[in-house]
Amino acid sequence: MTAQVEFRGLRRVFGKTVALDGLDLTIEPGQFVALLGPSGCGKTTALRCVAGFERPDSGAVLVDGEDITNVPANKRDAGMVFQSYSLFPNLNARDNVAFGLRVRKVPVATRRAKAGELLELVGLPAHADRFPHELSGGQQQRVALARALALEPRVLLLDEPLSALDAKVRVSLREEIRRLQLDLGITTIFVTHDQEEALSIADRVAVLRDGRLEQCGPPAEVYDRPATPFVAEFVGTMNHLAGHVSGDKVTVLGQLLPIDGAAPGAAQVDVLIRPEAVQVTPADDGRAEVLAASFRGASVRLRLALAGGEVLADVPGHEAARLGPGTRVTVRLVERPVLVAERTVTAPAPQSVDADAV
């Protein structure tokens, strides 16, 4: 009930828009991979190519080494859950789940029993006789998930299935989806533009941009060691600090830090720093000032003013009481390799700081 999925040089063009531009990606059996990226990056098109709803202009989709590019959608052994639920309004939950089994002419007793098992699996055994309009959004999405699993597909495809739900339900259901995926061991491809969603539940996160793969790796690797400036910007929040390159190191905020990856040819660069890598200490003679503090649960995000601009810093919640607006502070960066990019005049002003401002 699990399979390897491979995108091999996948290209798909709609008019003048290139949705996929030579996408190469391999998803191992039983893995949960999130396709992450901004609108228009090609993630849903890639998913639809696996499902058989889109046919690439070139390249191939392989499942366990078999080219299924030209196989009809109903022969692909893939289950898909859509953003819009797509339940039949005239069928109750049990019959919605059993619909695919009915199409395959599975005996009534067998399909009712299977539907009951799946509703139990998604936590809705008491809702079997309810119609879609009698279910909440989260419950409808659970029914849609059970329906996708009814035919025991080798690949489960999830196209932003949580985007229409409120925040609390989203968190609960994404954890439920992950639990089911681990229990069943099914290869799963999850499309989302929500970085928190991708990082919290996927085995690997594939970041797409303009139809190409920018990086694919475990969530911690994508976050902590982004392969490109685009990944660094898209996954999480980044400060842009002006730096000066010397050899394989860069001077930023008066500190000399190693460069992560190859050093650029330009001497003046943007240094990309996560807010949690900015260390803040109250000091009467500090050259930075706290402008604002935003509560974020376990941490507080500070907006700091330095001589050349502003910078964001995340500090533990218990330290925030002594770092209120107006507090003078010193700023240091965590000693670790940093990602740099060629300096641009269009770098976001609120997060751009001159190299000599300490």
Summarize pLDDT for 129-187 with one digit per residue, the tens.
999 999 998 899 999 999 999 988 999 999 998 887 888 888 888 998 999 899 999 99
Measured between its terminal Cα atoms, the distance across the chain in Å is 57
241-258: string of b/e by CB count within 10 Å (b at 16+)?
bbbbbeeebbbbbebebe
The full DSSP string for 175-206 is HHHHHHHHHHT-EEEEEES-HHHHHHH-SEEE
The full DSSP string for 46-64 is HHHHHHTSS--SEEEEEET
**Separation CA 301–CA 286 (nearest Å):** 19
User: What share of the chain in percent tops pLDDT 70?
Assistant: 96
**Separation CA 187–CA 105 (nearest Å):** 26
Contact 188, 149 (CB under 8 A): no
Domain annotation for the chain: domains and CATH numbers: 5-229 (3.40.50.300), 237-353 (2.40.50.140)
Summarize pLDDT for 314-347 with one digit per residue, the tens.
999 888 888 999 999 999 999 999 988 887 654 4
Summarize pLDDT for 258-311 with one digit per residue, the tens.
998 887 778 899 999 999 999 999 999 999 999 999 998 889 999 999 987 899
**Separation CA 175–CA 184 (nearest Å):** 14
pLDDT at 228: 86
Positive or negative CA dihedral for 341, 347, 352, 355?
A: positive
pLDDT at 41: 94
Q: For residues 15-38, give the mean pLDDT.
A: 95
Nearest to 3, CA basis, from 25, 34, 26, 28? 28
Contact 92, 98 (CB under 8 A): no
Structure tokens at 109: 């007793």
Contact 35, 202 (CB under 8 A): no
Summarize pLDDT for 87-110 with one digit per residue, the tens.
999 999 999 999 999 988 999 999
Q: Which residues contact 167 (CB under 8 A, 6 or more apart)?
A: none
pTM given for the model? 0.84
